[in-house]
Amino acid sequence: MKKISILLIVFLCTLIMLKADAQLLMPQSSSSQTLVQEFGMGKITLKYSRPNIKGRNISRDLAPNGEVWRTGANDATVISFTDAVIMEGNEIVPGEYALFTIPGREEWTVILNKETKQWGSYNYKQSEDVLRFKVKPVKIKESVETFTITFNDVSTSNATMDLIWGTFRVPVRMSTDSDSKVMAGIDEAMKGDKKPYYPAAVYYFENGKELNKALEWISMAEAADQKAPWFKYQKARIQLKMGDKAGAAITAKAGIEAAKAINNAEYVRLNGKILNDAGGR
């Protein structure tokens, strides 16, 4: 009986210790990050962990040259696309992929792999690759301690995913065909009762489309609401780009007055800039 009691005490103590261990919270040495980047008509989501150099040699100790790397720490880095994208000239269908890389002094190999649920690259299989391509690393002046992935130079159709660590940056250029979808959407919407004159005009202006059509549409939007200084601002921008400085100046002046009437300092400033560029003051 005494022996049973001792065993029971040991068992209970073990449970208490295990529970205490389970409740112990500590910061991760490699913090995790999730990025969500709107791109074209869809989104890119990236999940990865961010190791620190801590005085070590990156190309020897952390991301060895010539070896498959998880592109981060802990679990393999995962990237997903809601729409089709083109990475360095290679088309990728929507889906979720593990992002591996093979670092090198002169070039890096970027890999998209089907198997997203794996720790590191220990179970990596080349047979599961969806895509491989090579990119050139770029030297940077100031060393970055924490491995960082960012999306830069993002436009409606183009973006660059930068892998940054130590004194290198690895740019991965991407594009997506959002223009054809937007244009088809505009054409279809213009057939309806509520025509999107304002956003359609702005899209035409900002994407190098037919300016006469953009001016027609923004004029329709302006006619429906003479008190909106943003309509006048966009109209003045279009007129100025078309070379009609006199018309742009008149519209911008009206935009300033409309903005003052609703106490909108931003559109006073924006219309004022157009007026200045048009030589109106």
Domain edges within the chain:
31-175, 179-277
Q: Tell me what the mean pLDDT of segment 247-259 comes to.
A: 95
State the Cα–Cα distance between residues 144 and 148, nearest whole angstrom.
8
pLDDT at 253 > cutoff 80: yes
Residue 120 is predicted with a pLDDT of: 83
Q: Tell me what the mean pLDDT of segment 217-244 comes to.
A: 95
Residue 156 is predicted with a pLDDT of: 85
pLDDT, tens digit, 9 for 90 and up, residues 131-158: 999 999 999 999 999 999 999 999 989 9
Residue 8 is predicted with a pLDDT of: 53
CATH dotted code for 179-277? 1.25.40.10
pLDDT, tens digit, 9 for 90 and up, residues 81-114: 999 999 999 999 999 999 999 999 999 999 999 9
Q: Tell me what the mean pLDDT of segment 212-222 comes to.
A: 96
Residue 25 is predicted with a pLDDT of: 76
pLDDT at 235 > cutoff 60: yes
- The terminus-to-terminus CA distance of the chain in angstroms comes to 101
What is the rounded average pLDDT for all residues in the chain?
91
Q: Tell me what the mean pLDDT of segment 244-248 comes to.
A: 95
pLDDT, tens digit, 9 for 90 and up, residues 12-63: 555 555 555 556 677 777 889 999 999 999 999 999 999 999 999 999 999 9
